[in-house]
Amino acid sequence: MLRRKFIKILAVALFATMAVLYRPASSEAAEDWNFALLLPLTGPFASWAEGVQFAVHWAAEEANKAGGINGRMVKITDYDTALDPATAVARINEAMREHTIILGPFASGIVSATMPAVQRAGAFAYVANSGEQAVERFRPHLFNLWTDFGEAVEKTMAGYVKLNPDVKSIAVIYNPMDEFWVRFAKFQENSGNSLGLKVHPLIEIGQGASAAAAATKAMSYNADAYFVTGLNQDMIDSLLELGRRGVTDQRRIMFYPLADDPAFAEVAQNVVDGAYVWNVFNRFNDNPRWTAFTADYQAAHDGLDPGLLTIPYIDAVSFVRQAIEQNGLTGDADKRQDEWAKIIKFMAGTENFPGVTQSYNVIDYQMHGPAYLMQFDKNGKLGLVEEYQ
């Protein structure tokens, strides 16, 4: 009898212990806010990810200097997705067990791999570099930190053609490793056709190959202008090969927004004079917060300017702050499902959100804002040419 009673007590105790072990941590509510940040800190996007990491930690510290969010300090826990789908899925599952606020992941292939888990959990993530197909598929469980690229390509291409009326035909070079970039190439093809340009067949950069071969093929079309989308190295290789083959007027070259990156300008500064960049963020402004961030970034990066990816992630922290303050969120693990539901409802739409460099309207979890045409000078410095509302 005593033995059976002891076993029963032991079983109850064991069950209670297991329940505690598998219950999400709830210390977040009692102490600091702890946001998860998922980035490819290793792999081909690591240099961009480091800038984003710096920006998010800076935004958290900015909030802390102002007293935190609802009186609680903000901490950031970094998760490395390594730009690998399996690793990213494991990291997002870890993050959802420990955090109410999830910033990332980054890159459309990783977003597509991880969002089914977010969707099944009823969670919400602030993602960047996500293709429109992923946004459509996983809405309302994600918020796209990029503005609408279809609109941006259409506006900037029209502006480019107006500034360069001798351009009657274009060749589009792109790296297909990211569905995001495939979509950009299609946007450019469609916009070129709408503008009455001759658009030559799209040219893929072969897997693991130098973009120089793609640039050589583009030259065979004898196009008036060349639009390049891909990694920094893809854009640099294309630029150099086009130059070697006689394209000495760099205004005939247009790059994808990530050419707005100090690492790109540092390598290409002597050969990029006149080349254009289409963009959805404008770091050439006098917003006091952006000025302060730029100074801190430069101090930590040997004088280099911050890249454009820092902008949406600083704004992500501001979006989170609004969601917490206006919905009375606690971060308590026991309330996580309910608080994710509140974030989903809150992030569906807003007008004139004050970003760190510009204002946005949010429609159905998608940011909408101005588009920008930029151009490099002879010193490799990028400057704003025109803004399109």
Higher local confidence (pLDDT), 220 or 261: 220
Label residue 25 by pLDDT band (50, 70, 90): very low
> What pLDDT score was predicted for residue 146?
79
Residue carrying structure tokens 């693990």: 333
**How would CATH label the architecture of 150-284+372-388?**
3-Layer(aba) Sandwich (3.40)
CA angle 325, 143, 279 (to 5 degrees): 115
pTM listed for this prediction: 0.82
Cα 7 from Cα 18, distance rounded (Å): 16
- 221 φ, ψ to 5°? -80, -15
Checking if the pLDDT of 183 tops 60, the result is yes
Please report the pLDDT score of residue 267 as a whole number: 80
pLDDT of residue 177: 86
DSSP summary character for residue 72: B
Residue 17 main-chain phi, psi, to 5 deg: -65, -45
How many residues are present in the chain?
A: 389
- Which residue type, as a one-letter code, is found at position 234? D
Inter-CA distances, 111 with 39, 227, 326, Å? 11, 26, 27
- Structural tokens at position 297: 């970034």
**Is 203's pLDDT higher than 80?**
yes
Residues 348, 310, 279, 345: what is their CA dihedral angle, to the nearest 10 degrees? 0
Question: Domain coordinates of the chain in residue numbers?
Answer: 27-148+289-369, 150-284+372-388
pLDDT band at 85 (very low <50, low <70, confident <90, very high): very high
3-state helix, strand, coil in the chain (%, to 5): 50, 20, 30
Domains 27-148+289-369 and 150-284+372-388 share a fold: yes
pLDDT value of position 220: 95
Residue 358 has pLDDT above 80, yes or no: yes
Q: Which residues contact 337 (CB under 8 A, 6 or more apart)?
A: 122
* Range scoring the smallest mean pLDDT among 99-108, 147-156, 247-256, 258-267: 258-267
Closest CA to 279 of 144, 172, 370: 370
Residues 152-173: pLDDT tens digits?
999 999 999 999 999 999 999 9
Cβ contact 53:41 at 8 Å: yes
Percent of the chain clearing pLDDT 70 (strictly above) = 91
DSSP 42: S
Residue 128 is predicted with a pLDDT of 77
Contact between 309 and 52 under an 8 Å Cβ cutoff? The reply is yes
pLDDT over threshold 70, residue 192: yes
Helix (H) or strand (E) holding 150: helix 149-163
Give Cα separations from 325 to 356, 360, 374 (angstroms): 19, 19, 36
Find out whether 332 and 113 touch, Cβ atoms under 8 Å: no
Q: Is the pLDDT of residue 8 over 50?
A: no
- Give the homologous superfamily in CATH for domain 27-148+289-369: Response regulator (3.40.50.2300)
pLDDT for position 131: 60
Ranking 144-148, 270-274, 360-364 by mean pLDDT, the lowest is: 144-148
Q: Residue 101's pLDDT is what?
A: 97
| Residue pLDDT, tens place only, 222-238 | 999 999 999 888 999 99
Q: Give the tokens for residue 9.
A: 């007590």
pLDDT, tens digit (0-9, with 9 covering 90-100), for 26-72: 444 448 999 999 999 999 889 889 999 999 999 999 999 999 999 99
pLDDT class of 132 with cuts at 50, 70, 90: low
The pLDDT confidence band at residue 5, using thresholds 50, 70 and 90, is very low
Mean pLDDT over 211-219 rounds to 95
- Residue 331 CA to residue 342 CA, distance in Å, equals 12
